[in-house]
Amino acid sequence: MEALWKGLPVERALDVGTGTGRNLGLLAAEGVTTRLGLDRSTAMLKRADARRERLILGDAAALPFAAEAFDLLLASLMAGDLPELSDLARFTREASRVLRRGGSLVYSDFHPTWAERSWQRTFESADGRKWRLPYHPHTLDDHRAALDRAALETVAIEEPLLDERPVLVVLRAVKR
């Protein structure tokens, strides 16, 4: 994702689904002056709190910000948390609403081929317990259509490979 936004003129950025705040640190390193992280998980925000960033509990489909408040909106691997195409559409509409004209939305999702391969989102907690998170795949056409309907022009789609298979899809769209 970083390659798609690094070097853009950004003063105000929002990281949706910020989790532990990793992207906020990358934004700070690039000199972005206003960096906000939003997540719907209080537990994740508590983990990110150690970074002393401005963090907000909220929903990607109902962003608590004024129109045109940001130059850049990031969202790492949270689109797969949106179960319905209508949820993806609400997210992209909200992203478009809070972006200034010419601002960019850069987001990633697990590649839709995960479902074909029966791959799962799993992790192991510090105490050794294994967790499986739900994943709701969206096709590349779903992403492009949601962006287009939200007045966002898709300018880049990357599909990083692992063992010659796409693992992620990373998109950059610009508000018209």
Which domain CATH number covers 126? 3.40.50.150
Contact between 94 and 124 under an 8 Å Cβ cutoff? The reply is: no
| Partners of residue 168 on adjacent β-strands | 110
Residue pair 88/143 in contact by the 8 Å Cβ criterion: yes
Q: In the beta sheet, which residues pair with residue 133?
A: 121
Confidence of residue 116 (pLDDT cuts 50, 70, 90): confident
**What pTM does this model have?**
0.92
Residue-wise pLDDT for 149-161, tens only, equals 999 999 999 999 9
How many domains are there within the chain? 1
**Measured between alpha carbons, how far is 57 from 45 in angstroms, rounded to an integer?**
8
Q: For the segment 120-148, what is each residue's pLDDT rounded down to a tens digit?
A: 888 888 899 998 888 889 999 999 999 99
What's the start-to-end Cα distance of the chain, in Å?
21
Q: Which domain holds residue 62?
A: 2-175
Region 102-114: what's the mean pLDDT? Answer: 94
- 83-93 pLDDT, tens digit per residue, is 899 999 999 99
